[in-house]
C-alpha cells in the first residue's frame, strides 16, 4: 500500500484522487485522526452491524496533502482484501459506497 496521486480499491473499477481543494480542517471534520508523523488516517468499518468485525476501509493522507493511499482490509487491518467477492459482498459494497460518497461530498477525494 504505497502513497500515490491516485488510488483504486481492490476489485473496484473506479479510481480516486485526492482533491486539490482538500484542507486539514476538512480532514479532521470528516473523522481523520492526525498521527504523530503528521499524516491523516481514517478507518471505517464496512460491517453495518458491528464496528469490530468484518472488513475496514483505511484511507491515509500524507502530511503535505499531496498523496494518499486507500485500501480495504481485514478487521485487524493487516491484510488487503477484495470486498466485491464473498457472502456479504452486497452489504460491504453498500457501506463502502456510503463512506466514499461522504468523502466525495466534502471534497476530500474525487473520481478520476
Task: With a cut of 80, say whether residue 111 has pLDDT above it.
Answer: yes
Say what the pLDDT of residue 1 is: 61
Amino acid 42: pLDDT: 96
* DSSP β-ladder status, 40-45 and 33-34: antiparallel
pLDDT digits 0-9 by tens, 90-108: 888 999 999 999 999 999 9
pTM: 0.92
Tens digits of residue pLDDT in 69-96 = 999 999 888 999 999 998 888 888 999 9
User: What's the pLDDT score for residue 14?
Assistant: 95
81 vs 75: CA distance, rounded Å: 10
| φ and ψ at residue 63, rounded to 5 degrees | -60, -30
24-56: pLDDT as tens digits: 999 999 999 999 999 999 999 998 777 778 899
Per-residue DSSP letter, 36: T
- C-alpha dist (Å) from residue 1 to 19, 21, 26, 55, 65: 19, 24, 23, 16, 17
Dump the DSSP string for 19-30: -TT--HHHHHHH
When pLDDT is cut at 50, 70 and 90, the band that residue 6 belongs to is: very high
Section 54-60 average pLDDT: 94
Amino acid at each position: 500500500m504505497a502513497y500515490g496521486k491516485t488510488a483504486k480499491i481492490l476489485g473496484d473499477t473506479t479510481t480516486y484522487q485526492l482533491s486539490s481543494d482538500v484542507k486539514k480542517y476538512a480532514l479532521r471534520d470528516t473523522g481523520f485522526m492526525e498521527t504523530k508523523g503528521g499524516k491523516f488516517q481514517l478507518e471505517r468499518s464496512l460491517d453495518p452491524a458491528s464496528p469490530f468485525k468484518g472488513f475496514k476501509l483505511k484511507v491515509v493522507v500524507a502530511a503535505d496533502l499531496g498523496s494518499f493511499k486507500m485500501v480495504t482490509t481485514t478487521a485487524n487491518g493487516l491484510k488487503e482484501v477484495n470486498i466485491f467477492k464473498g457472502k456479504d459482498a452486497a452489504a460491504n459494497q453498500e457501506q463502502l459506497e456510503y463512506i466514499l460518497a461522504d468523502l466525495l461530498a466534502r471534497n476530500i477525494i474525487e473520481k478520476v
